[in-house]
Structure 1
Amino acid sequence: MLKTHHGSCHCGAVKFEADIDLDAGTGKCNCSICTKKRNWSAQIKPDAFRLLTDPAALEEYVFGSGSAHHVFCKTCGVSSFGHGYVEEIGGAYYSVSIACLDDLTPAEMAALPVQHMDGAANNWWNAPEVISHM
């Protein structure tokens, strides 16, 4: 069910709201940056995301093809969302960190459906052999 969720970074300098159907699924990837960040996210279209604080509180990191903008708080370093454009997944997107959604309880998080993606092998539509570390 589509619901407006509220989220933030650790220090509260970055706040956002996003319309997300968490029942549609969340994702964990084993690519180099997602593994190191322990990324767990839900993807939405750009019009479903609203930054509620000054964009000056943000910094971003872009690497490789430049298709993904890894955004983080300048103060605490937490990456509460990112955005980019990848044709294979439907074009423009925002990726919202599940751990940064302030209105979810741990029990609600634990019940979310998760798809594991083998980004390390560019095999995005399949799970890697080992997922227990993700």
Structure 2
Amino acid sequence: MQYHGSCHCGRIAFDVEGELTQAMACNCSMCQRKGSLLWFVPREQLQLHTPADQMSTYTFHKHVIQHRFCPTCGIHPFGEGTGPDGRRMAAINVRCLEGVDLGTLTITHYDGRSA
């Protein structure tokens, strides 16, 4: 299934393809503050409609995830990085996707504070 996502003001827009049945809630210092629910997909399933130079990026800790956010409204719709298997991945904030009923998703919890 294809989903459309964006930041609050719409400056960052994207489509993502895949089966969304679960998301992850992480308690690391970044995710805890953002309140994001993450859906991990191969990077090639994410199609950006906004050029990368119109987004802001934040990295921290091990600097392996590029947290993308809107310089206008501040919303973090996704992040990019490399998975444990070496493949490029995207971490989609499902709260930024249109038409998703969060109550239908299985939410797993990840202890990112201890990672």
With normalisation by structure 2, the TM-score equals 0.92
Report matched runs for 1:10-89 at 5 Å: 10-23=8-21, 25-87=22-84
Structure 1 stretches (4+) deviating beyond 3 angstroms? none
Give the letter aligned to residue 102 of structure 2.
Answer: M
Name structure 2 gaps, 5 residues minimum. none
Larger radius of gyration: 1
Name the aligned partner's letter for residue 105 of structure 2. L
The percent of aligned pairs where both chains have the same amino acid is 30
For this pair of structures, how many residues does the alignment match? 115
Task: Work out the CA distance in 2 between the residues paired with 1:62 and 1:109.
Answer: 27
RMSD between superposed Cα atoms in Å? 1.3
Kindly indicate whether the alpha-carbon contact (under 8 Å) linking 1:20 and 1:42 is maintained by their aligned counterparts in 2. Answer: no
Aligned-partner Cα distance in 1 for 2:64–2:51: 23
Deviations 1:80-100 (A, max 9, x none): 011111326x63210011110
Counterpart amino acid of 1:69? Answer: Q
- Calculate the TM-score normalised by the size of structure 1: 0.80
In the alignment, does 2:106 pair up with 1:113? yes
Shift of 1:20: 2.4
Write the letter of the residue equivalent to 1:115.
Answer: T
Q: CA deviation at 1:58?
A: 0.2
1:106-133: per-residue Cα shift (whole Å, max 9, x none)?
Answer: xx211111111111112xxxxxxxxxxx
2:92 maps to: 96
Q: What SS does the aligned partner of 2:79 have? A: strand
Match of 1:6 in 2: 4
SS at match of 2:32: helix
For CA contacts below 8 A with separation 6 or more, give which structure has more relative contact order. Answer: 2
